[in-house]
Structure 1
Amino acid sequence: MKSKQLDTATIEQFKKTIWHYFHTQGRTFSWRKTTDPYLIVVSEIMLQQTQTFRVEPKFENFTAHFPTFQTLATAPFSEVLRCWKGLGYNRRALALQKIAQEVVHNYNGILPNDPEILDSFPGIGPATAASICAFAFNKPTIFIETNIRAVFIHFFFQNQTKITDAQIYPLVAQTVDEHNPRNWYYALMDYGVLLKKMYPNPSRKSAHHTKQSTFEGSNRQIRGLILQALLEQASCTFEQLCCAINRDKNKIAEMLNELIKDKLIEYHDPFFKLSS
């Protein structure tokens, strides 16, 4: 399928609309007040699949405890997880610490500004690598996230459904602000939040749109309960975990195997403990 090409007038009007809203009603977050690559990495990992209102207090607490790549890289994982607790998707906490260790051990504590290098880091895919480079280094990279997707669908695909990111991506590239990509992407995200308040979620027209599964009774909940128990007790047998969690034993065993595979916990017969 041939990608859509926008004319100059359309691009300029689009930018004018987005910038006007941002300059008058843009949101303020602490991670937007810095270009420190470490703080940008922390915020971008936290913001994966997590809303800003949940991230903001955790970001402040986490970066107070671990203010640099070095402090995070050398911290016990139990401390990292304790500060992460409440954000969910706990694999991100481990990935974030491994990113810090990679930067400290292999890049002299300095985050590379190359998205291809960042894409090779744990927990960082192409979109997050590009967003980190945009926000930390003001590089005009191209990426899509949920609010950006909503904006482009609303403006350029109004009467269509099952729109793919492959269709949107060229339009993001055509409209990116080459001189100030950092604030341009913040502006797009803020306009996307506005659209979701004004209209039924525009992202529902995306071919990639999925509804998040219910947390109560989910595998994610059981994984979280296991990690919480190991934070409180340091080490537990299988039977102790079953008593503490009070869930189906087969499901607990399955989640324990997943957590071991993800390297979040370790098993030293007969005890389970957080990864060291």
Structure 2
Amino acid sequence: AKQVGVPNIVVFLNKEDQVDDAELLELVELEVRETLDKYDFPGDDIPVVTGSALLALEALGENPQIKKGDNKWVDKIYELMNQVDSYIPTPERQTDKPFLLAVEDVLSITGRGTVATGRVERGTLKIGENVEIVGLKDTKTTVVTGLEMFKKTLDETMAGDNVGVLLRGVQKKDIERGMVLSKPGTLKPWSKFDAQVYVLTKEEGGRHSPFLVGYQPQFYIRTTDVTGKVIDFKHIQMRNPSSVAEEHSNKMAMPGDQINMTVQLINPVAIE
């Protein structure tokens, strides 16, 4: 979470109903806070709420009109959401940055043209302004001739909106999911990039085995997934250092390792 930029966390310790010893629950909370500290989150300050999601759900199923104070487990969910509201800052719309929208879907509307839909990541966009279609194919410039959100016509859209953008002179075959719409001149497509990576272990839901230079996984970037080839890497930290491991350190990455790697994509993608 820290590596991908998650700024704030609220913890919910589930299945409290299955714990008979209150001291055990305190020990689990302490361990969670220590883990948060380990990954550079403020473990002492982060709210930790205990409860039972299943029992809360069952109570709501039996009585959908249940109110705060009527059920212990439902109250725990109220407490969780109160902590989220108070501890997690309200996201600010980045309207002062250049426009960027990752295309999620493309529609062809008879008599009107091609519409690209997606969530505006940042900036603002007005009807009549130019945008560039970046990624996967050659960059193309077009004009916005319409904006629509939830069947309402807009003159302007801004960061945070889920919007449909009508594009002049663009065929459906010219644009696809994974491309981005951006302010002209602000974004370039790249087919090669460097990345800092932590290789998840089997216990963390990751790999069971090491991989070598030449490995070709899928890379998920905004709304696209594209095949890339690992052409080089260097270790930052090895999970299990040894003379044999160090000998192969620039050829093989083990689960639990942290590496810097260089990737060659089969198609160019809009990357910053």
Give the TM-score normalised by structure 2: 0.26
Q: Which has the higher strand share?
A: 2
Q: Which structure's CA Rg is the greater one?
A: 2
Q: Which has the higher helix share?
A: 1
Q: Relative contact order, CA 8 A, sep 6+: which one is greater?
A: 1
